[in-house]
Amino acid sequence: MPKKEPAARGNPVSELLAIAESKGADCAKVMRSGDIVIDKRVRLKCAVPVCSSYGRHLLCPPNLMPAEEFEGIVRSYGRAIIMQVEDELDSSDRSSKGINKGLDDSIGPYAGQRRLHKLVNEVEAAAFKRGFYLAAGFIAGECLLCPECIGQLSGKPCRRPFEARPSMEAMGIDVLKTCENAGLSVHLSSKKKIRWTGIVLLD
């Protein structure tokens, strides 16, 4: 049974942290937007070696704004909520992602990635309701809302535009350094657990 959102406490940012935890975040913190590290080389890693989603997903490079432009936007925000979901996953095994399952599924390959996406959407919506009308959320990895992205060559729009979000790394965010600045850890190439990281910018 899903947990209810915490009752109002007077501090909207504290409320958002409590909501993130009640919705399944293993950890959630507030950080200054100035501590979000953006590096063009992160976007380079989308193309070298080329990611299987590069040019195929609507919310993956090269379909996004340049990292320099995004950095200017991030600096216009004051704070952000960074959150993580831990997942039992051998991240070295890329054989199956189980993306034919819905976003609400809590089991199967990359379930943690889908749970984080849902969490980011929920925290962003809660922020909007509390007066952060310019709140913007970013997920981890490529969007898995659809079994297959409709893609840029179809000329058709995203099937789920109100839920779909680009990832932090797709926007040029150095997730490792940003997590380090926030006092959070990141597990990479782990055969036990992996941490998926998302963020919601707050105006």
**Residue-wise pLDDT tens digits, 42-67:** 999 999 999 999 999 999 999 999 99
What φ, ψ does residue 62 adopt, rounded to 5°? -90, 25
Q: How far is residue 155 CA from its own chain's centroid?
A: 25
For residues 26 and 190, what is the distance between their CA atoms, to the nearest angstrom? Answer: 17
The domains of the chain are located at: 12-202
Give me 197's structure tokens. 């990281």
- Band of residue 108 on the pLDDT scale cut at 50, 70, 90: low
Segment of 7-21, 163-177, 186-200 carrying the highest mean pLDDT: 163-177
What letter represents residue 33's amino acid?
Answer: S
Give me 119's structure tokens. 């969490």
Look at residue 135 in the predicted model and tell me its pLDDT.
Answer: 98
Phi-psi region of 67 (alpha: psi -120 to 50; beta: other; left: phi over 0): alpha
Give me 108's structure tokens. 């199967």
Look at residue 83 in the predicted model and tell me its pLDDT.
Answer: 97
Look at residue 91 in the predicted model and tell me its pLDDT.
Answer: 53
pTM: 0.86
> Which residue in the block uniquely carries the two structure tokens 């981890």?
140
Look at residue 95 in the predicted model and tell me its pLDDT.
Answer: 52
Look at residue 7 in the predicted model and tell me its pLDDT.
Answer: 46
Quote the mean pLDDT of the chain: 87
Percent of residues in the chain assigned helix, strand, coil, to nearest 5: 30, 15, 50
pLDDT in tens, 122-162: 999 999 999 999 999 999 999 999 989 998 778 899 999 99
Of the chain, the percentage scoring pLDDT greater than 70 comes to: 82
Look at residue 9 in the predicted model and tell me its pLDDT.
Answer: 55
Look at residue 90 in the predicted model and tell me its pLDDT.
Answer: 58
Alpha helices, DSSP H only, in the chain?
Answer: 12-22, 40-47, 67-74, 111-129, 175-182
For residues 142 and 140, what is the distance between their CA atoms, to the nearest angstrom? Answer: 7
- Band of residue 94 on the pLDDT scale cut at 50, 70, 90: low
Three-state DSSP at 42 gives: helix
Omega before 12 cis (within 30°)? no
